[in-house]
Amino acid sequence: MAKNITTDPDLEQKIENLIAQMTLEEKIGQMSQVRHFDDISPEEIKTKFIGSVIHTQGPLPGNNAAEWQSKFSELQKQALSTRLGIPLIFGVDAVHGQNTYEGATIFPHNIGLGAAANPELVEKAAAITAIESKATGFNWVFSPCVAIPMNEKWGRVYEAFSENTELTAELTKASVIGHQGKFGNSGVLATAKHFIGDGATDFGVEGGSTTLSREEVLERLLPPYQAAIESGIASIMASFNTLDGIPMHAHKALISDLLKGELKFDGIVVSDWKAYSRFGQNDIINAGIDMVMAVDGDLDLFQEGVRNGVLDGSIPENRINDAVRRILRQKFRFGLFDHPFPDKTLIGKIGIPEHRAVARQAVRESLVLLKNENHILPLKRTSRIVVVGPMADNSGLQSGGWTVNWQGTTENYKDATTILEGIKKFTLHEVRYDREGTAEVENVDVAVIVVGENPYAEFFGDIGGEMNLFQLTLPEEQQKFITAYAKRGIKTVVILISGRPLVMTQQIEQSDAFVAAWLPGSEGDGIAEVLFGQFDFKGKLPHSWPKSVEDYKGKYGPNFWDNSIEPLYPFGFGLNYHNKL
Ligand code: BGC
């Protein structure tokens, strides 16, 4: 199967020498990942021999990038002051840019990059994410998500590139290389996640059960991981779902035998959130998990549990050595022993125009034109335009989950541009803005109506799941915007902001032009550049587009094994100005 990545005998020797000096406590410490607040005090980094620190939701490490860096440097000093001085690695959920830092460049979520289907662009976006992550003190990102979503009800569809395995594998490669800089000291460790079956659970339930056959898993879900391993991925995160009725974290056959054995993955298998107490404690270590997110009260349970397991023989010591070897290997490969502290000169690169230009290109290329009757698009500079809906002038709403906060934000955020601001740059007339969709505007040629889903992340976004906050159709109050303008005979261009294809058959029918814009991120003005014809549409559907809610009666969405369901638009569909379809 996948070829082994380069092994360096000198490096391997260095690692073995270090392991030979380590006590059991030091080894277990290396396997521990904690948050920078709550889970530990700075001194405990030293006394508990912590291997990694994570920042995600919760108190910020500081008020600006310099403060973030110095907070992490302070923790790093603790680690370096231990007997063996092994540096920490700092991980972050930078899944579309360094999205935990307000003011960073925010790219379209992966579903948009799947629509753009441009590996070179994905590589550039990942390289910029690496720079801005390093500038805020990190050297490890929990990205890319390489799931193959098989049901649009899943709340994480947008974190993945596409329902198509080949496209996902191709973009995964580009993403890994972009993030990691080919093992260079310039890159950050990337993480392919969530291994395996996260997007293929029955009915799209986050962390649910995946009931595919082994052949289907190997054929449809595994190739992106093979691509990631061939590109030298540093880590792979285990998934919350079960497979074969076994929690993936405890699935020894897939983690140890397949991933590490057959596929020769030599990096870190990292657990997901609080996995130790959730998925069978030492079972996950014996299955092959190397580093554990020992957060939210799990740290002592984990450290003591593993220690007792080794002492009573239920965890073989060579399993612990394998885990530590993998962690140290990446710390050496990424130059952490030589350069443990963040580079202050990178701070000036956060959100710079060059980075935003790439994000804007990504926005432009991600837009999929589904309908353009009577060539209503491109818009003319002389058109009298009304822009409709709260999503049109809100950078938080246009960016989705994992933006500033875990669940995203419903507010404008620093240095981002909204869709309305972009449109204003192009028009010669004053643009009217009907935020509530109820104004009786007159003398307009065209209404640009922006509708879609409010931000969500993880299980919050599941449809019909635990939270049940979302639906497969457009919320009714937004459907009314389209109906109201169409009724008045005003031409309508509908822009859909969403993390997945929604059932919009009737709204597409009602509108004159329809654009799937996914979750574009901070550069909302990329949309106007295409609407006004400065650039052509390039995006192609990364998912087949459903026709009706009925299509979801089975386990999966349209086009998955059930050939009797015909999507409204197939995978790969997308119009442009040039071909004037
Ligand atoms: C998510 C991961 C994420 C981790 C750390 C989990 O809840 O499933 O994708 O990387 O949290 O924040």
Residue tagged active-site, from 93, 152, 170, 458: 458
Tokens of 250: 């405890």
Pairing mode, strands 246-247 and 242-243: antiparallel
Confidence of residue 93 (pLDDT cuts 50, 70, 90): very high
Sign of dihedral through CA atoms 426, 432, 438, 440? Answer: negative
Predicted confidence at residue 367, as pLDDT, reads: 99
For ligand 1, atom 11: residue with the closest CA: 273
Residue whose CA is at the smallest distance from ligand 1 atom 6: 273
Cα gap 256→254, rounded to integer Å = 6
Tell me which residue has tokens 């999929």: 368
Q: State pLDDT tens for residues 367-395.
A: 999 999 999 999 999 999 999 999 999 99
Q: Is the pLDDT of residue 4 over 70?
A: no
Q: Which pLDDT score is estimated for 185?
A: 54
What band does 3 get if pLDDT is binned at 50, 70 and 90?
very low
The predicted pLDDT at position 2 comes to: 36
CATH number, span 28-347: 3.20.20.300
Residue with tokens 């030293």: 46
Instruction: Confirm whether 458 is a catalytic residue.
Output: yes
Closest CA to 97 of 69, 117, 122: 122
Q: Are 203 and 160 in contact (CB under 8 A)?
A: no
| Burial category of 73 from C-beta neighbours within 10 Å (exposed 0-12, middle 13-18, buried 19 and up) | middle
For the cut 90, the answer to whether the pLDDT of residue 345 exceeds it is yes
Instruction: For the chain, give the number of residues.
Output: 581
Neighbours of 312 (CB within 10 A): 9
**Taking a C-beta distance cutoff of 8 angstroms, is the pair 279, 273 a contact?**
no
Instruction: Using DSSP, state whether 35 is helix, strand or coil.
Output: strand
Determine the atom of ligand 1 nearest the C-alpha atom of 193.
9
Q: Is 272 a known active-site residue?
A: yes
Quote the CA–CA distance of 462 and 204 in Å, as a whole number. Answer: 7
Tell how far the Cα of 217 is from the centroid of ligand 1, in angstroms. 22
Pocket-testing residue among 142, 296, 466, ligand 1, by greatest number of atoms within 8 A of Cβ: 142
DSSP 194: E
- Kind plus residue range of the DSSP H or E element containing 118: none
Q: Which atom of ligand 1 lies at the shortest distance from residue 458's CA?
A: 8
CA of 380 to the centre of ligand 1 (A): 44
Range with the poorest average pLDDT among 268-277, 278-287, 571-580: 571-580
* Closest ligand 1 atom, residue 159 Cα: 9
- Paired residues of 141 in beta bridges: 92
Catalytic residue among 123, 206, 272, 393: 272
Taking the centre of ligand 1 as the mean of its atom positions, its distance from the CA of residue 388, in whole angstroms, is 35
As given in the structure block, the two tokens for residue 331 are 């710390």
User: Where does the pLDDT of residue 581 fall: very low under 50, low under 70, confident under 90, or very high at 90 and above?
Assistant: very low
* Peptide linkage before 194 cis (omega within 30 of 0): yes
Say if residues 140 and 179 touch (Cβ distance below 8 Å): no
Which H/E stretch holds residue 453? none
Q: What is the mean pLDDT of residues 170-185?
A: 87
Domain parsing of the chain, residue ranges? 28-347, 353-552
Alpha-carbon gap, residue 165 to 542, rounded angstroms = 10
CA diameter of the chain: 81
Pocket test for ligand 1, best of 93, 145, 456 (most atoms within 8 A of CB): 93
State the fold for domain 353-552: Rossmann fold (3.40.50)
Testing ligand 1's pocket by substitution, the residue of 191, 273, 406 carrying the most ligand atoms inside 8 A of its CB is 273
Check pocket membership of 93 for ligand 1, CB cut-off 6 A.
yes
